[in-house]
Structures are given as C-alpha cells and as structure tokens.
Amino acid sequence: MTDMTRSRASHLVATRRRDLPQKNAEISEMVPSQDAGNVSDDLGALVKAIRVIAQAIDTRSKAMARLSGLTIPQVVVLAGIRDLGEVTTNGLSRHVDLSPGTVVAILDKLAERGFVERYRSPTDRRIVHSRLTQQGAEILSRAPTLLPDDAVDAITRMPQADRAALVTAFRSVAGLLRGIS
C-alpha cells in the first residue's frame, strides 16, 4: 500500500469513525484504534469485521438462492462466462478467483440445468470450453446483484478517493487471507 493510499485509508477510517452514530457502538468496535501500538485491538477489530462480512455474505447468498435458485459462486461463474465469452475452465478459474476443481463442479451443476454448454476443443481434446446458453443468459440477467442495493448506493455516493481506498483495503485483506484454510 502506498503512503498516499495509506493516508487516504486512514482518513477514510477517521471520517467513518467520526460519523458513526452512538447507537451503533458495535460497528465502532470494528474500526481500528488510532494507537499504533495497539495491535491486539486492531486484530480483534479486523476479525470482528471479517465475521460481519462473512455473515452478510451468507445472508446475501441465501437470499439470492431463494430469489433466483443460484448461489453466489454460480452467479460469479455465469457472469465470468458472459464477460469472457467462450472460455476454458482454467481461464474462467483465474478470472473468478476460484480453484479449477471448484469451477468444474459449478460448471457441472450449471450444465445439468441447461445454463452453460461445455465442449471439447476441436484442436486439443484435453481442453474444455464453456459458453452461456440462452437460458443461462436469461437467468443471469434476472439474478440479483452480488451486493445489496443499499451497499451499492452507499459506495456510489462515496468520493472516488474513498472508493479507491476501500478497494485497496479489501484487496489487501483478501491478499492476506488468500490461502488460509
């Protein structure tokens, strides 16, 4: 993280901490302390924030499954195929940040439901391509967004520098957590 991004992130945290309503004290516990030496409190706040995010993702995933019959990973894979066009499993795996084995399992389920079509490359039978079917494109167009509307609205209203700092912070956390089982 560059010094400028770190400064923006610190400003964002300070601004968000100052703007937190008193009635929402639980959320303020997730904001890192300004005391640089208090690593234990910062780690505790980070773990709590990650738990809240995990709970929100679980809740959103269940709502999406009820509304569309698709899980978040299935929507991500369908959107990846839509974005990339006809794509190999490995290319799709890299694009959606899921393991090739996970992508194959998701593609199998989506193919069973008629949302994707899989076929072997005519030049190399070891390579399998996937493409969206018309039915897959239709279900994807009706699927709820991955983020709740109120979150999208709040992020949209943020100044660009704050959005950039938020994205940088999330990418940093994702990078730290990548590979943890």
- Amino acid identity of residue 59, one-letter, is T
> Which tokens hold the place of 110?
């989506």
In DSSP notation, 135-177 reads HHHHHHHHSPPSS-HHHHHHHHHS-HHHHHHHHHHHHHHHHHH
| Domain locations in the chain as residue ranges | 3-66+162-177, 71-142
Q: What is the spatial distance between Cα 71 and Cα 57, in angstroms, rounded to a whole number?
A: 11
**CATH number for domain 71-142, candidates 1.10.10.10, 3.50.50.60, 3.30.413.10, 1.10.3720.10:** 1.10.10.10
Element (H, E) at 15: helix 3-19
> Which tokens hold the place of 131?
């493409």
40-80 pLDDT, tens per residue?
A: 888 899 899 999 999 999 999 898 899 889 999 999 999 99
Report the side by side order of strands in the sheet with 87-88.
87-88, 128-132, 116-120
4-23 pLDDT, tens per residue?
A: 444 444 444 444 444 444 43
pLDDT band at residue 177, thresholds of 50, 70 and 90? confident
Q: Look at 2-6, 39-43, 123-127, 177-181 and tell me which has the smallest mean pLDDT.
A: 2-6
pLDDT higher than 60, residue 135: yes
* 106: Cβ contacts below 8 Å, ≥ 6 apart: 73, 74, 77, 98
Residue percentage of the chain with pLDDT more than 90: 57
pTM above 0.85, yes or no: no
152-172 pLDDT, tens per residue?
A: 999 999 999 999 999 999 998
